[in-house]
Amino acid sequence: MNAPAFGVYIHWPYCAAICPYCDFNVRRDRGDDHSALIDAIAADIAEHGRRFSAGPARSVFFGGGTPSRLSGAQVDKMLRAVDAAFGLAADAEVSLEANPEDCARFAEHAAAGVNRFSLGVQALEDAALRALGRFHSARDALWAIDAAAHLGARVSADLIYAREGQTLDTWRAELVRALALPVEHLSLYQLTIEAGTPFARAVDRGRMAPPDADQAASLYAATQALCDDAGMPAYEISNHARSAAAQSRHNLLYWRGQAWAGVGPGAHGRLTDGETRLATSAHRGVRAYIDAVSANGVGWVERETLSAQAFADERLLMGLRLGEGVARRPIETLRGAAFEETVMTRLRDLGLLSFDATTLRLTPAGRLVCDRVIAELSRLAS
């Protein structure tokens, strides 16, 4: 286990319908044949394998879009490409984002090698699910969780809160039920109104009023308290696990500043090339992506060698999200300067940050203003 941590992110952009809050690279699936995209992704993986001496892959993550729409054979084809390019560790975590509607295919996915399902439950109230533009019911979600659990897979559920009209009491009741689900992991996201989405238009026109910052802060605090009591503390701003083993190994790559290959339309990767950190992003359009792969071997639209300063910023802004905190040394080495004592002390005195010689860590209060604290810390003394 001396090889540096490495994983592969595979983006599958198709969905049965587009959710009104989503700003990811997604498109509606019209039931066309997607074999050309599967082939392109496999070829992209292979080319990454030829260019970078990384591996073995200790995690693979099918994200989207809705990768649970993939067949077992399609998942199998892409996992084989990963194995051929980098080697797939025997104990690799293979996650797949899944919609409850697709639970009939879970067995196929598991047979192809998926051992962790991340289920888009979103809410346990049917009215809320309809408001979020989802087509499944709360019952469907519970059914899907059971289906995944029975396959022996690890299961995580996503929930969206700080929804319009949600009170502390209604959310607490819903969360209590979520914590009782047979899942080892919960991702609890506050609803974010992203520009360009139908929700953003609704808010602009005054047809929708999500909770204000104070209300959202109270909801966050209540969430932390309930989850801590239930033995499911946050290990990241929005992610909770019953144990260290239940944490998402793949997502930790992002937060810990480790390396992964990103393939599929719009996927981002971070790769190590000798001494340098490479940031890649793939064409967002399916056609453009396939064409790029056939022309260049990889689907990149952009490839940037990060400056030490930029890498330092990335490590800070991702690492500080973790409950374990972020190691100071590697970042201070990259930026060529120690974090400013006065800034750290001020943030500590405000009860937002704890730090020692090796680590920076947000306090529970600090997590709510994580982005601002990052901005303060990232500044170099002038």
The least distance separating another protein from the CB of residue 107, rounded to whole angstroms, comes to: 27
**Does residue 24 touch another protein according to CB under 8 A?**
yes
**Does residue 6 touch another protein according to CB under 8 A?**
no
Which residue lies nearer to another protein by CB, 67 or 147? 67
* Two tokens, residue 230: 């239930």
**Does residue 65 touch another protein according to CB under 8 A?**
no
Q: How far apart are CA 186 and CA 124, in angstroms?
A: 13
The least distance separating another protein from the CB of residue 242, rounded to whole angstroms, comes to: 21
Options 262, 265, 299, 325; binder of another protein; rule CB under 8 A = 262
Helix 308-319, helix 328-335: angle, nearest 10: 150
The SS3 of residue 53 is coil
* Two tokens, residue 268: 């981002």
Which residue lies nearer to another protein by CB, 103 or 219? 219
Q: Which stretch binds another protein (CB under 8 A): 131-139, 164-172, 263-271, 287-295?
A: 263-271
Q: How far apart are CA 254 and CA 61, in angstroms?
A: 12
Q: Phi and psi (nearest 5°) for 203?
A: -65, -45
Q: Residues 109, 118: contact at Cβ < 8 Å?
A: no
Options 48, 109, 249, 321; binder of another protein; rule CB under 8 A = 321
C-alpha closest to that of 163 among 118, 203, 103: 203
Options 213, 244, 245, 381; binder of another protein; rule CB under 8 A = 213
Options 106, 220, 289, 300; binder of another protein; rule CB under 8 A = 220
Which residue lies nearer to another protein by CB, 105 or 367? 367
Q: Which residue has the tokens 């520009």?
A: 195
**Residue 315, H or E segment:** helix 308-319
Options 37, 60, 141, 253; binder of another protein; rule CB under 8 A = 253
CB count in 10 Å sphere of residue 76: 17
The least distance separating another protein from the CB of residue 272, rounded to whole angstroms, comes to: 15
Q: Which stretch binds another protein (CB under 8 A): 118-126, 133-141, 287-295, 310-318?
A: 310-318
Q: How far apart are CA 42 and CA 50, in angstroms?
A: 13
**Does residue 303 touch another protein according to CB under 8 A?**
no
Q: 157, exposed or middle or buried, with CB in 10 Å at 0-12, 13-18, 19+?
A: buried
Q: Which are the contacts of 261, defined by CB distance < 8 A and separation ≥ 6?
A: 6, 7, 8, 9, 45, 48, 52, 54, 86, 269, 271
The least distance separating another protein from the CB of residue 250, rounded to whole angstroms, comes to: 9
**Does residue 237 touch another protein according to CB under 8 A?**
yes
Q: Residues 9, 61: contact at Cβ < 8 Å?
A: yes
Options 254, 300, 339, 355; binder of another protein; rule CB under 8 A = 254
Which residue lies nearer to another protein by CB, 71 or 218? 218
Q: Which stretch binds another protein (CB under 8 A): 71-79, 97-105, 146-154, 250-258?
A: 250-258
Q: Which stretch binds another protein (CB under 8 A): 44-52, 133-141, 170-178, 183-191?
A: 183-191
Site string for another protein, 89-108 (x = CB under 8 A): --------------------
Q: How far apart are CA 354 and CA 351, in angstroms?
A: 8
The least distance separating another protein from the CB of residue 128, rounded to whole angstroms, comes to: 17
Task: Supply the DSSP symbol for 223.
Answer: H
Type of residue numbered 22? C
| Largest Cα span, the chain | 59
Q: Residues 322, 256: contact at Cβ < 8 Å?
A: yes
The least distance separating another protein from the CB of residue 54, rounded to whole angstroms, comes to: 15
Q: How far apart are CA 341 and CA 350, in angstroms?
A: 14
Options 202, 279, 288, 308; binder of another protein; rule CB under 8 A = 279
Question: Where does this chain bind another protein (CB under 8 A)?
Answer: 9, 11, 24-25, 63, 189-192, 213-214, 216-217, 220, 237-238, 251, 253-254, 260, 262, 266-270, 279, 281, 310, 313-314, 317-318, 321, 346-347, 350, 352, 367-376, 378-379
